[in-house]
Amino acid sequence: MTTMADERRRLLEWLDAERDEIIDLLRALLRERGPNPPGDTRSTADVVRAYLNGRGLDHRIISPHPEMPNIVASFEGGNPGRHLVLNGHLDVFPVAPDLAGWTKDPWGAEIADGKIYGRGACDMKPGTTASIVTYAMLHRLRESLGGRLTLTCVSDEETFGPWGARYLMEHHPEVHGDCLLNGEPGGPESIRFGERGPLWIAFTLRAKGAHGAYVHATDSATKLAMRLATELESLTEIEAPMSHNLQRAVEQSRPVMDRMMGEGAGALVNRVTLNIGTIQGGEKVNMIPSHCTFQADFRLPVGMSKDDLLSKIAEIAARYPQASWEVVGGDEPSWCDPDHEMVAIIQKNVEEAGRPRPQPIVSLGGTDARLWRHRGVPAYVYGPYPHGMGSHDEHVDIEEFLHVVRTHVLSAFDYLSRSAPR
């Protein structure tokens, strides 16, 4: 009789034998351009479909937007059990037109010094590759698994997912599942169980305007904008209350976050943060601007709702009768149980690979995993370091990438194996 240990050994043998094939899949995905905006991921989706078709794996395309396809595949195990969902996205950040800062071709998937370079090389084509490979390998062992495994490769993650994961969650409940595993970058020393909530607001300041020498005649829209932005900075002093188990996990994770993301990262987890992402105003240097707009990116800690912060923003904005503002994007913070079974499974597989035990953390950035958490589905993120994410010379260490793939394959297997009678 084949045992669980025998099947795990088979998975490890396959991972070793197919190492080059797995790397080739990642590089093929990296060569396809899918910057969002504009978000056209059709050619990237074609790579995924070719991989699945080549292995006889049925799947379907759900494409509410013609240029933003979502790929969904699912199979039943040989026994009743739980439903695990794998999730990764196909779109990537844009690249500056002049390729400023890049020393490698952002669409070349070049290998140098044990690393693979390219836009999406950490965010998040390695994680999406891990999901695809996990699905394909576990399909070979499906008769000995319990429950159901679903693969979701989605578009439109970089712009809150109205045509991607958000659409699937709202219109296709068959992808909700009992647990989610995602491979967004964060670092192999961490397992993300929660995320701060983004809140994007556009402010517009208006004034009469005048010649630049006539500063007595009118307010300056740009100066008003700077004053308002400075007052908004006071909101970053707010700390949100948290339940005991969340507080414990956050406190334990601070040193890990500082090590992975830079000194000070851990201190931000339970505080509001603010970034003024864009500002535009004025027509000419010797004219007092009559118009200025800026966009603010607030990040809400777990334990705080959007309404909590919006009321405080409204109080500050009310002191500026020249100002109007609107919410242009965002989502509530999300979190799930830091002591969930999946956390322990991932930790065990990471330690068995000879790496440090990963720490459950609340992440600074956002992922589609939040959409599952908002539905009450525990969702966990384990991925590579965010080297160059949203910047230039984005890359992933090959051995680290393969470690992430291995961890996803074995963790998904362990979760579904526990659903199956032995």
- pLDDT over threshold 90, residue 383: yes
Angle between helices 4-17 and 19-31 (to 10 degrees): 60
Task: Decide yes or no: CATH 3.30.70.360 for domain 197-330.
Answer: yes
- pLDDT over threshold 90, residue 61: yes
- pLDDT over threshold 90, residue 104: yes
- pLDDT over threshold 80, residue 53: yes
Mean pLDDT, residues 110-124: 98
Provide the pLDDT for residue 365.
84
Sign of CA dihedral 217, 222, 225, 229: negative
Q: How far apart are CA 270 and CA 263, in angstroms?
A: 16
Query: Same topology for domains 4-195+333-417 and 197-330, yes or no?
Result: no
Mean pLDDT, residues 341-370: 95
Provide the pLDDT for residue 364.
86
pLDDT band at 328; cut points 50, 70, 90 = very high
Residues facing residue 15 across a β-bridge? none
- pLDDT over threshold 70, residue 390: yes
- pLDDT over threshold 80, residue 252: yes
Task: Give the C-alpha distances (Å, rounded to integers) separating 72 from 142, 149, 171, 196, 392.
Answer: 17, 11, 13, 27, 31
pLDDT band at 20; cut points 50, 70, 90 = very high
Question: Per mean pLDDT, which range of 149-158, 159-168, 175-184, 252-261 is the poorest?
Answer: 252-261
- pLDDT over threshold 50, residue 370: yes
Report the b/e string of 186-215 with b at 16+ CB within 10 A. Answer: bbbbbbbbbbbbbbbbebbbbbebbeeeee
Residues facing residue 153 across a β-bridge? 71, 88
Task: Decide yes or no: CATH 3.20.20.150 for domain 4-195+333-417.
Answer: no
Q: How far apart are CA 52 and CA 183, in angstroms?
A: 19
Provide the pLDDT for residue 246.
84
Q: How far apart are CA 377 and CA 180, in angstroms?
A: 7
Domain ranges of the chain: 4-195+333-417, 197-330
Compute the mean pLDDT over every residue in the chain, rounded to the nearest whole number: 95
Mean pLDDT, residues 301-325: 95
pLDDT band at 419; cut points 50, 70, 90 = low
pLDDT band at 421; cut points 50, 70, 90 = low
Provide the pLDDT for residue 420.
60
Provide the pLDDT for residue 422.
44
Backbone angles phi, psi at 269, to 5 degrees: -55, -45
Tokens of 359: 């720490």
Pairing of strands 146-154, 70-76: antiparallel
